[in-house]
Chain A
Amino acid sequence: EDKVVQSPLSLVVHEGDTVTLNCSYEVTNFRSLLWYKQEKKAPTFLFMLTSSGIEKKSGRLSSILDKKELFSILNITATQTGDSAIYLCVGKAAGNKLTFGGGTRVLVKP
């Protein structure tokens, strides 16, 4: 059975701190890994990672995939209160099956 595990479950930081979120996966016929941010309602897409070792960046967020060790990290630098959310890691397999991790809840205090 496919599995995606995120850590930590939750964390509290102060504005300006750097946050690193971890995601490990065991996905049969793995194709890519996705990160989403979920605030009040439906998740919003952040990144899709297909190749190992190539960092993707968007503003203060960046992510990288290690297909040998089967994990990915999501970094958020200079955190702001608007970064408070649940961050979801998703493994995508052949045939377009998606397996979600349980999420990491991030709270950024002013």
Chain B
Amino acid sequence: NAGVTQTPKFQVLKTGQSMTLQCAQDMNHNSMYWYRQDPGMGLRLIYYSASEGTTDKGEVPNGYNVSRLNKREFSLRLESAAPSQTSVYFCASIDWGEGNIQYFGAGTRLSVL
């Protein structure tokens, strides 16, 4: 049981490049989330998917897009990376009502030069 798997673990981009962060969970959870965490700060919600087939904006959605490909996978895309998007990105999943424990991936450390 792998839990939540994020790839890649590290990435360096140049300004203007695009990339997709992948996230998959094997716990059959309905809800999945993407967060960013800047140094010394708390987590901020980028986008979330309450259930398969739905996605909604969080606190800081600008510059990002998401796709809930199926129940397992929720990807985050940066179309044109900017230095302000340098951060650590976390994916998480949860099944509300089943223990209410949110499982997090290990994080992706992204640097945009």
Contacts and interface: CB of A to CB of B under 8 A. Distances in A.
Contacts, number: 55
Chain B interface size band reads: 20 to 34
Interface centre among B56, B59, B92, B107 (most CB of A within 10 A): B59
Interface string A44-75: 01001000000000000000000000000000
Nearest to A87: B42
A95 interface: yes
B44 to A, nearest CB: 6
Given A41-B106, A41-B107, A103 B50 contact: no
Nearest to A9: B40
Interface residues of A, number: 23
B101 A42 contact: no
